[in-house]
Amino acid sequence: MLSFTRQTSQTDGMGEVPLATDPTSRVTDANKREYLRLWLEHQLVLSIRQQADAFREGVEEVTGAGCLSLLSPSELRGLWAGEALDDAHLDKWQAASEVRPGAELQASLFWTWLREASTDIRSKVLQFATGSSRLPNAVDLTGWRFTIDRMDTASTVTIEPTAANGLAAPAMCARSSTCSRTIYLPDYEDIAALGRGIECSLMDGGFGNA
C-alpha cells in the first residue's frame, strides 16, 4: 500500500499535504482508480487554477466575457498557436510572398526546395525569416506579407568544407530581417547549393540575422 502527498504553498514556505481528505487513507487496488483521478485533477486543474483564472480574465479584457466559449479547442489552438506548414499552408505562404527584382531564380529554388522539405524544416526556415515558426491562422493571410530578396556577393558569408562540418561543397549562408519578414538569398546555382546554405544558416543563426 502507498501513501501520496503533494507540495503546496503555505505562509511559512512549502509544505506537504495529503491528496485525500482523510490523511490516513491508503491507495489500494480497490481505490487506485479514484486516486489516479484525484491526482490527475490536481496536476491538470487544481494546481494551476489560479494562473488559469488570471489568464482567462486577461484575455476576456480584450475579447469580452464569454466570447471564448464560441470557439472549439481546435479553433482556439489555431488562433493562438498558428498553423503548421503542411503543403496547403506552404501554398498560402508562397501566395503571400513578394519577390524583389533580381531574386526570381533564388525564389524559384527556394520554393522548390521547401516543397521537398519536411514540415519541421519548413517551420525552422519560417522562424529564421520571420521570428515565428507558424503562419497566422487566416484563410488567405490578409495583411501578412513575406519578401524574398537577393543578397549581393559582397555580403555573402561562405563556409568552406572541412572534416568537422562534413560539407561536400561550400555553403553560402542566407540572412533575414525578421521585423520585415524578409529573407536574403545569395546567388545559388542549384537546389543543392541552396539547401546547404539554408541548413547552415539555420544551424548558425544566419550570420547577422537582424
pLDDT in tens, 135-182: 887 666 778 999 999 998 888 889 998 988 888 899 999 999 999 999
What are the residue boundaries of the structural domains of the chain, listed by start?
A: 5-70, 87-204
pLDDT for the residue 18 = 61
* Angle formed by the axes of helices 87-95 and 104-116, nearest 10°: 170
Beta-strand ranges (E) seen in the chain are 5-10, 13-18, 97-99, 146-150, 157-159, 171-173, 175-177, 182-185
Domain 87-204 has CATH 3.30.2410.10: yes
For the entire predicted model, the pTM comes to 0.63
pLDDT for the residue 81 = 61
pLDDT for the residue 210 = 45
- With left for phi above 0 and alpha for psi between -120 and 50, is residue 85 left, alpha or beta? beta
Q: Do residues 180 and 146 touch, judged by C-beta distance below 8 A?
A: no
- The percentage of residues in the chain with a pLDDT greater than 90, rounded to a whole number, is 43
At 93-146, the pLDDT tens digits run 999 999 999 999 999 999 999 999 999 999 999 999 999 888 887 666 778 999
Q: Do residues 81 and 134 touch, judged by C-beta distance below 8 A?
A: yes
**pLDDT greater at residue 89 or residue 21:** 89
**pLDDT greater at residue 11 or residue 191:** 191
Per the prediction, the chain carries an average pLDDT of: 83
**Helix, strand or coil, per DSSP, at residue 16:** strand
Nearest to 134 by CA among 197, 92, 174, 175: 92
At 35-62, the pLDDT tens digits run 899 889 988 888 888 998 898 888 788 7
**pLDDT greater at residue 208 or residue 145:** 145
Average pLDDT over residues 17-30: 72
